[in-house]
């Protein structure tokens, strides 16, 4: 496949602390607040929202990475002022909407993680579908030690990865997991050498992008929702997903490619 690289551009409209680079059908999003260990400001969150609300039509998979050796140190507490309960709830719900947009926007998202993957940064990573960790990674949910509770979806996404018991311990103690420990627990799917995270993430994104786009969409949407369903409802939803995937032109191309012993060329 040819490699077409576009200059990095910033979204939205020159703000947002998010750089976007297009490489053929892959978009690389870079958190660009290295001086703050890529702490998530409202502007950075708005930049992510702007991309995932309206990604370029040519993009089939996304890689997310942080500049300066850190994925993200979490919510930018320097921006936080005293808020009324209703304001905190609305801010939390905005984070939930953003994480849902990343997870259920329809594009497979691969996180290339290094350094700090903390608090809100871990919540963003958990909303990504595939996670690659370099040896420098440190996973932490320090909110309990700062007098606050998580608000970006950690209890649902991270709690389901770790289980509620381990997440409770992680928040009560402020425990830090390194890359190898996080890998064993499911916080990362791949371990790579230092400085190898982006290349691995791009390779995975390219491989995923070569899948049938409908199947990628169904995998992203159906599996997470089936996990919320009863056994019988989940099996029914699985049958619906199978029916959608096995009756279109991509299914015919997959069968033809198998019989012809070649790689399929999905639309």
pLDDT digit string (tens) for 41-50? 999 999 999 9
Q: How high is the pLDDT of residue 11?
A: 53
CA distance 260 to 220: 29
Q: State the catalytic residues.
A: 123, 143
Q: The whole model's pTM is what?
A: 0.92
pLDDT digit string (tens) for 86-126? 998 999 999 999 999 999 999 999 999 999 999 999 999 99
CA distance 11 to 266: 30
The residue among 261 and 162 whose pLDDT is bigger is 162
Task: Tokens for 118, please give them.
Answer: 């903390």
CA distance 193 to 116: 16
Q: Which among 59, 245, 241 is positioned nearest to 253, based on CA atoms?
A: 245
DSSP 62-75: EEEEEGGG-SB--B
């Amino acid at each position: 496949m040819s490699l077409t690289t576009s200059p990095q551009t910033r979204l939205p409209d020159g703000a947002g602390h998010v750089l976007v680079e297009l490489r053929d059908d892959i978009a690389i999003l870079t958190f660009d607040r290295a001086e703050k260990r890529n702490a998530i400001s409202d502007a950075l969150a708005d930049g992510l929202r702007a991309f995932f609300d309206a990604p370029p039509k040519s993009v089939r998979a996304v890689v997310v990475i942080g500049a300066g050796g850190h994925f993200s140190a979490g919510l930018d507490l320097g921006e936080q002022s005293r808020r009324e309960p209703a304001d905190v709830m609305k801010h939390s719900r905005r984070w939930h909407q953003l994480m849902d947009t990343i997870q259920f926007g329809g594009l497979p998202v691969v996180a290339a993680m290094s350094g700090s993957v903390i608090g809100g940064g871990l919540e963003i990573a958990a909303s990504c579908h595939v996670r690659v960790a370099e040896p420098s990674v440190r996973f932490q949910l320090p909110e309990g030690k700062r007098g606050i509770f998580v608000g970006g979806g950690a209890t649902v996404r991270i709690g389901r990865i770790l289980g509620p018991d381990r997440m409770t311990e992680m928040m009560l103690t402020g425990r830090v997991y390194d890359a190898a420990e996080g890998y064993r627990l499911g916080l990362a799917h791949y371990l790579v050498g230092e400085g190898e995270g982006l290349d691995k993430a791009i390779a995975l994104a390219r491989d995923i992008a070569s899948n049938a786009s409908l199947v990628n969409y169904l995998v992203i949407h159906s599996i997470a929702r089936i996990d919320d369903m009863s056994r019988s409802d989940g099996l029914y939803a699985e049958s619906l997903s199978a029916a959608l995937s096995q009756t279109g032109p991509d299914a015919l191309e997959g069968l033809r490619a198998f019989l012809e012993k070649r790689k399929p060329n999905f639309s």
